C-alpha cells in the first residue's frame, strides 16, 4: 500500500494563487523525462518556455501562464489533457501513458498554442489514434489534486465541480465542490478487491469538498486526542495560518494604469494602494504532551510524555516561525493557570520555562514576546473585561509586526496630521510608502479552538480597523463592536472556527465570541451541551478511523517517521541567524510587486469579458454560512454606514446596566415621575393620544421606559429611609465598648482635676446611646409586629449575663 498525492493542504484552490516559497514543498510525481509536474491548486505554473523547434509557433511572450480549466481526452493507450486559461486564448497539452499499471508516465508539451492551433493539434491526434479509438468523448474538469495508489494501479484525483467563493484583484478564488477518482490503466487488474475497496473507502473519508480551501498544515495533522503537541521535526498539531485580506473594490485590478505624465515608451502600471493583509497563526503547544482517551472521562488527564531540558522540538518550531514570518514573534498563551486538579497548568509551567530558556540565547531586539493569560478564569470570575484586554494585546502585536498595505496612506491623513500638529503641537508622521508585515502573533489554548478563535477574532477586528483606516474608509482605527462590519467579521471567524473544530474535534465551536462578550444567545447553553456531547462521541468512537484516513491520504506509514535527518548546530545556537533577518524588505517587495504588475496583471484576460454573460452575483461573490446579521435587509440599511455603531433605539434593546446607571445618576423619582406624567399629558385633555392606543401601551418602548424609570410610593420610600438611617447610625457608632469606657474614665478624670467631683464608675448604668432598637420583620401573614427589643450590648461585651 502506498499513497503519493499532491494535496491542497497548504494552498488555496484558485487559478493563480500558489503555495508560498516559505512553506514546505508540495509532493509531486516525476515524469519520464525527469521533469517535475506540480499538480495542485487547480493550475499549472510555468516559469519559462522552451525554444521553438519547428511545428506550430509558440507564444514566446507568455513567460508565465496560469490555467484553471482542463479537458480530458482518453483512449486505450493515453490520456490527453488540454489546459486552458480563463479566456481560452492560451492552451497547453499533457500526455499520460496508460499502458503500465505500476507507474505513471507524464509528458508535457512545452509549446503554448492558440485556440486555432489547439484545434488543429487535436485533429492531428484524433487521426493518429484511430487504431486506439481516437480521442474519445471530452471530459471537463477544473484541477488535478494528485495521483494515488491503493493495492494495485494508480488513480488520478480530479476536481469535477467548483464554485466561486471570492474575487481578489479581478481573479476568482474557487472552492472544490466534488472530485472524481479516474483509473489510469484501462486494464486495471485488482488481485484483492476487498482490500482495494477498503482502502478506497478509507481515502474517501477525507472529504475534499468540505472547506478544503482553508489553509491548514498537512504536517502533524490528525484528530484531537491523537495529535497533540509537537513532533520531532518541530511541527505542531492543529497548525493554521489565517490571513485576513481587506481590499477596496472601487477599482478591481491589482494595478493602476500608467501616469499620463510618463513617456509612452516608459509608461508602466502602478500598484493599486487598495489592498491590505494581516496574518495570524495558531498551533498546539510545542512540547511533548499527550492525552490518552482510555476511559469515559470527557477530559482525559494531560501527561508530558518526554522531558527535554533543551526543548529541541520547540527550538525547531520557533526557528521555522522565524524563517517563515521573521521577527518579532509574539506568543499569546491562553491556557489555565489555576485548577482544582492540575491539567492545563502543567503545560503552562513547562511552556513558560521553554520560552524563557530559548529566549536567553536570542539577541535582545529579537527575543520572543511572551504573554500568558488565563482567559477562562478572567471570564468566569469577571475580574477583567476579556475583550478589552485582548484588544490591548492585539494593538501591541500590530504595532510590533505591522500589516501589509500595497501603497501609501491616503493624502487626507497627511492634511489631517498637519491640522492636528498646528492645534496640539504633536506631529504625527505620514507613511508615504507601502507597509509590510514582519513577524507574527502565535495564539494558542489547549485545543487551539474556542479561546483561540475568540482571541483571533479580536486581533482580526483590531487589524480590520487599521486596514480600513489605511485604505481611507474610516477616520479612526477604533471600530465599534456594535457595527455591521464587525458583525460580518464575527460571522466569518465563526465559520472559520467551526471548520477547524469540525476537522479537529468532530463538532463546531462551543464557546463563541458572544460568550466572552457576555452576550450569549438564548439557546447557547443547550447548543454548548450538544456540541460537548458530539465532541465526546466523536473523540471516543470515530477519531481512530479519521486518523487512519488522514494518515493514508498524506501517505504516512508511521507517525514517528522523520522524512529527513535532523541537524542541530548546538543547544545555545538553536536558531539560524539568517532567519532573524526581515523576511520582507521594503525595496524588494516594491520591486517584486512592480514586476508582478507588468507580467501577471491579467485583469482584462480573466475578469473583463464583455462577450460572456456574467451574473452580478459572480462579480460580487462571497461565501458565508450565516448571513442573518448582515445589513441590507431593510431600506434603513441603505443609507447607514456599516462601520458606525448601530442605533440603540431601532436596532438593539437597551442594556440593563446602562439603564441602571442612568436611573441612579438622574433626578429623584418623584421629580422624574411628575415630569414624565406632564410630558405624557395633552395640554387640553390632560392625556396624550398614544395613551389611548392599547398597542402602544404594551410596546417595547413603553415597557422599557417604565422599567428604566420606576415609580416609588411614599410608604416604600419611608421604609427604605428607615434602613438607610439605621445603617448610618451603625456606621457613626464607636467600634467597641472599650473605647466608650475609656472616654468615660477620661471625662471623669478631667472633672476631678478641675475640682468638680470624684471618679464614679457604675458599670450597670447603661446610656441611651447603647440601647439598639430592633424592629421585627414581616411574618408569614404580612403583618409587622413593632414590639421593641432592648439589648444591653455593654453587658454582652463585658461578659455579664
pLDDT tens for each residue of 20-35: 333 333 333 333 332 3
Residue 672 has what pLDDT? 40
In terms of average pLDDT, the best of 45-49, 460-464, 605-609, 742-746 is 460-464
pLDDT band at residue 694, thresholds of 50, 70 and 90?
low
Residue 375 has what pLDDT? 92
Query: Rounded to an integer, what distance in angstroms lies between the CA atom of residue 675 and that of residue 680?
Result: 9
Residue 5 has what pLDDT? 37
CA 649 to the chain's CA centroid = 31
Contact between 466 and 403 under an 8 Å Cβ cutoff? The reply is yes
The string of pLDDT tens digits covering residues 405-428 is: 999 999 999 898 888 888 888 888
Asked if pLDDT for residue 8 goes beyond 70, the answer is no
Query: Rounded to an integer, what distance in angstroms lies between the CA atom of residue 564 and that of residue 518?
Result: 49
Asked if pLDDT for residue 71 goes beyond 90, the answer is yes
* CB neighbour class for 787 (10 Å; exposed up to 12, middle 13-18, buried from 19): exposed
Residue 775 has what pLDDT? 43
Asked if pLDDT for residue 555 goes beyond 50, the answer is yes
Residue 579 has what pLDDT? 93
Residue 158 has what pLDDT? 93
Q: Within a 13 Å sphere around the CA of 609, how many CA atoms are in the beta-carbon half?
A: 16
Mean pLDDT of 483-503: 88
SS (H, E, C) 740-761: HHHHHHHHHHHHHHCCCCCCCC
The string of pLDDT tens digits covering residues 295-318 is: 667 778 888 988 888 899 999 999
Asked if pLDDT for residue 481 goes beyond 80, the answer is yes
Neighbours of 598 (CB within 10 A): 10
Asked if pLDDT for residue 801 goes beyond 50, the answer is yes
The string of pLDDT tens digits covering residues 208-222 is: 877 665 688 888 888
- Pick from 355-364, 408-417, 646-655: least confident: 646-655
Which residues, other chains included, contact 106 with Cβ-Cβ below 8 Å and sequence gap of 6+?
Answer: 29, 31, 32, 37, 94, 95, 96, 97
pLDDT band at residue 668, thresholds of 50, 70 and 90?
very low
Residue 566 has what pLDDT? 55
Residue 731 has what pLDDT? 62
DSSP state of 686: S
Residue 633 has what pLDDT? 62
Name which residue leads in pLDDT, 86 or 368: 368
Asked if pLDDT for residue 44 goes beyond 50, the answer is no
pLDDT band at residue 396, thresholds of 50, 70 and 90?
very high
Contact between 414 and 430 under an 8 Å Cβ cutoff? The reply is yes
Residue 359 has what pLDDT? 95
The string of pLDDT tens digits covering residues 104-148 is: 889 988 889 988 999 999 999 888 888 777 888 899 999 998 899
Which residues, other chains included, contact 455 with Cβ-Cβ below 8 Å and sequence gap of 6+?
Answer: 332, 334, 375, 390, 443
Only one residue has cell 461578659, namely 799
pLDDT band at residue 794, thresholds of 50, 70 and 90?
low
Query: Rounded to an integer, what distance in angstroms lies between the CA atom of residue 447 and that of residue 454?
Result: 13
Residue 777 has what pLDDT? 47
Residue 473 has what pLDDT? 92
Residue 86 has what pLDDT? 80
Residue 631 has what pLDDT? 64
Residue 527 has what pLDDT? 64
Neighbours of 390 (CB within 10 A): 27
Asked if pLDDT for residue 366 goes beyond 70, the answer is yes
As a whole-number percent, the residues of the chain with pLDDT over 90 amount to: 27
Residue 301 has what pLDDT? 84
Asked if pLDDT for residue 752 goes beyond 80, the answer is no
- Pick from 182-196, 604-618, 638-652: least confident: 638-652
Asked if pLDDT for residue 166 goes beyond 80, the answer is yes
34 dihedral zone (left: phi>0; alpha: psi -120 to 50; beta): left
Asked if pLDDT for residue 454 goes beyond 70, the answer is yes
Asked if pLDDT for residue 244 goes beyond 90, the answer is yes
Q: How many helices (H) and strands (E) does the chain have?
A: 23, 20
Contact between 245 and 468 under an 8 Å Cβ cutoff? The reply is no
pLDDT band at residue 658, thresholds of 50, 70 and 90?
very low
Residue 440 has what pLDDT? 96
Residue 288 has what pLDDT? 92
The x, y and z cell numbers of residue 682, run together, are 395633552
Residue 730 has what pLDDT? 66
Contact between 572 and 361 under an 8 Å Cβ cutoff? The reply is yes
**How far are the Cα atoms of 242, 282, 448 from residue 239, in angstroms, in the given order?**
10, 6, 9
* SS3 of the chain: helix, strand, coil, percent, to 5: 35, 15, 50
As a whole number, the mean pLDDT across the chain is 76
Mean pLDDT of 599-615: 71
Contact between 80 and 125 under an 8 Å Cβ cutoff? The reply is yes
Q: Look at residue 322 and give its three-state secondary structure.
A: helix
- Pick from 117-126, 667-676, 724-733: least confident: 667-676
Mean pLDDT of 464-485: 91
Asked if pLDDT for residue 734 goes beyond 60, the answer is no
Residue 568 has what pLDDT? 59
Residue 676 has what pLDDT? 40
The x, y and z cell numbers of residue 537, run together, are 462521541
The x, y and z cell numbers of residue 275, run together, are 489592498
- Per DSSP, helices labelled H in 603-655 are 603-606, 616-619, 648-651
Contact between 223 and 548 under an 8 Å Cβ cutoff? The reply is no
Asked if pLDDT for residue 224 goes beyond 60, the answer is yes
Contact between 486 and 514 under an 8 Å Cβ cutoff? The reply is no
Amino acid at each position: 500500500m502506498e499513497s503519493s498525492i499532491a494535496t491542497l493542504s497548504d494552498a488555496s484552490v484558485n487559478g493563480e494563487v500558489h503555495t508560498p516559497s516559505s512553506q514546505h514543498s508540495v509532493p509531486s510525481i516525476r515524469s519520464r523525462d525527469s521533469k517535475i509536474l506540480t499538480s495542485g491548486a487547480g493550475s499549472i505554473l510555468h516559469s519559462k518556455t522552451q525554444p521553438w523547434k519547428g511545428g506550430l509557433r509558440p507564444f514566446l511572450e507568455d513567460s508565465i501562464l496560469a490555467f484553471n480549466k482542463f479537458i480530458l481526452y482518453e483512449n486505450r493507450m493515453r490520456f490527453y489533457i488540454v489546459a486552458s486559461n480563463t479566456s481560452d486564448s492560451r492552451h497547453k497539452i499533457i500526455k499520460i501513458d496508460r499502458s503500465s499499471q505500476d507507474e505513471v508516465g507524464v509528458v508535457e508539451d512545452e509549446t503554448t498554442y492558440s485556440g486555432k492551433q489547439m484545434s488543429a493539434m487535436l485533429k492531428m491526434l484524433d487521426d493518429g489514434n484511430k487504431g486506439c479509438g481516437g480521442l474519445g468523448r471530452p471530459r471537463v474538469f477544473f484541477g488535478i489534486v494528485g495521483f494515488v495508489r491503493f493495492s494495485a494501479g494508480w488513480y488520478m484525483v480530479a476536481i469535477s465541480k467548483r464554485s466561486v467563493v471570492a474575487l481578489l484583484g479581478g481573479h476568482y478564488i474557487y472552492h472544490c465542490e466534488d472530485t472524481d477518482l479516474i483509473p489510469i490503466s484501462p486494464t486495471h487488474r485488482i488481485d484483492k478487491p476487498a482490500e482495494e475497496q477498503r482502502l478506497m473507502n478509507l481515502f474517501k473519508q477525507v472529504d475534499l469538498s468540505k472547506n478544503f480551501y482553508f489553509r491548514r498544515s498537512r504536517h502533524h495533522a490528525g484528530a484531537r486526542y491523537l495529535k497533540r503537541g509537537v513532533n520531532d521535526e518541530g511541527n505542531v498539531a492543529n497548525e493554521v495560518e489565517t490571513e485576513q485580506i481587506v481590499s477596496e473594490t472601487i477599482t478591481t485590478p491589482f494595478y493602476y494604469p500608467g501616469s499620463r505624465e510618463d513617456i509612452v515608451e516608459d509608461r508602466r502600471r502602478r500598484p493599486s494602494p487598495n489592498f491590505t493583509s494581516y496574518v495570524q497563526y495558531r498551533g498546539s503547544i510545542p512540547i511533548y504532551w499527550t492525552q490518552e482517551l482510555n476511559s469515559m472521562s470527557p477530559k482525559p488527564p494531560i501527561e508530558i510524555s518526554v522531558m527535554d531540558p533543551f526543548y529541541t522540538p520547540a527550538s525547531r518550531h520557533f526557528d521555522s516561525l522565524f524563517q517563515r514570518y521573521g521577527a518579532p514573534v509574539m506568543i499569546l498563551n491562553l491556557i489555565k493557570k489555576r485548577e482544582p486538579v492540575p491539567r492545563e497548568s502543567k503545560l503552562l509551567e513547562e511552556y513558560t520555562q521553554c520560552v524563557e530558556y530559548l529566549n536567553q540565547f536570542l539577541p535582545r531586539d529579537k527575543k520572543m514576546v511572551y504573554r500568558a493569560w488565563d482567559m477562562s478564569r478572567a471570564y468566569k470570575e469577571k475580574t477583567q473585561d476579556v475583550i478589552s484586554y485582548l484588544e490591548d494585546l492585539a494593538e501591541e502585536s500590530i504595532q510590533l509586526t505591522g500589516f501589509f498595505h500595497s501603497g501609501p496612506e491616503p493624502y487626507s491623513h497627511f492634511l489631517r496630521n498637519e491640522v492636528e500638529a498646528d492645534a496640539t503641537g504633536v506631529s504625527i508622521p505620514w507613511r508615504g510608502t507601502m507597509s509590510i508585515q514582519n513577524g507574527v502573533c502565535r495564539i494558542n489554548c489547549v485545543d487551539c479552538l474556542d479561546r483561540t478563535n475568540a482571541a483571533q477574532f479580536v486581533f482580526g477586528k483590531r487589524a480590520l480597523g487599521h486596514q480600513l483606516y489605511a485604505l481611507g474608509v474610516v477616520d479612526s482605527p477604533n471600530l465599534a463592536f456594535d457595527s455591521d462590519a464587525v458583525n460580518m467579521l464575527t460571522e466569518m471567524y465563526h465559520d472559520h472556527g467551526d471548520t477547524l473544530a469540525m476537522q479537529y474535534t468532530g463538532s463546531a465551536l462551543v464557546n463563541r465570541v458572544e460568550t466572552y462578550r457576555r452576550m450569549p444567545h438564548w439557546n447557547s447553553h443547550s447548543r454548548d451541551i450538544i456540541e460537548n456531547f458530539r465532541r465526546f462521541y466523536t473523540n471516543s468512537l470515530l477519531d481512530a478511523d479519521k486518523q487512519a484516513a488522514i494518515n493514508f491520504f498524506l501517505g504516512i506509514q508511521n507517525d514517528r517517521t522523520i522524512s529527513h535527518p535532523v541537524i542541530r548546530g548546538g543547544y545555545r545556537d538553536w536558531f539560524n541567524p539568517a532567519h532573524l533577518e526581515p523576511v520582507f524588505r521594503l525595496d524588494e517587495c516594491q520591486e517584486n510587486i512592480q514586476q508582478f504588475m507588468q507580467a501577471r496583471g491579467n485583469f482584462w484576460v480573466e475578469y473583463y469579458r464583455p462577450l460572456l454573460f456574467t451574473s452580478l452575483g459572480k462579480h460580487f461573490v462571497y461565501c458565508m454560512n450565516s448571513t442573518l446579521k448582515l445589513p441590507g435587509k431593510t431600506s434603513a440599511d441603505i443609507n447607514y454606514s456599516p462601520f458606525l455603531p448601530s442605533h440603540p433605539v431601532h436596532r438593539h434593546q437597551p442594556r440593563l446596566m446602562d439603564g441602571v446607571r442612568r436611573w441612579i445618576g438622574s433626578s429623584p423619582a418623584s421629580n422624574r415621575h411628575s415630569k414624565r406624567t406632564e410630558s405624557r399629558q395633552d395640554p387640553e385633555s390632560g392625556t396624550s393620544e398614544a395613551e389611548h392606543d392599547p398597542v402602544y401601551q404594551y410596546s417595547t418602548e413603553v415597557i422599557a421606559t417604565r422599567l428604566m424609570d420606576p415609580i416609588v410610593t411614599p410608604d416604600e420610600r419611608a421604609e427604605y429611609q428607615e434602613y438607610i438611617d439605621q445603617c448610618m447610625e451603625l456606621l457613626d457608632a464607636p467600634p467597641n465598648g472599650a473605647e466608650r469606657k475609656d472616654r468615660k474614665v477620661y471625662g471623669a478624670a478631667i472633672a476631678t482635676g478641675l475640682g468638680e467631683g470624684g471618679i464614679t464608675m457604675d458599670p450597670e448604668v447603661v446610656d441611651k446611646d447603647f440601647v439598639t432598637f430592633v424592629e421585627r420583620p414581616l411574618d408569614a401573614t404580612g403583618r409587622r409586629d413593632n414590639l421593641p427589643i432592648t439589648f444591653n450590648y455593654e453587658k454582652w461585651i463585658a461578659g455579664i449575663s
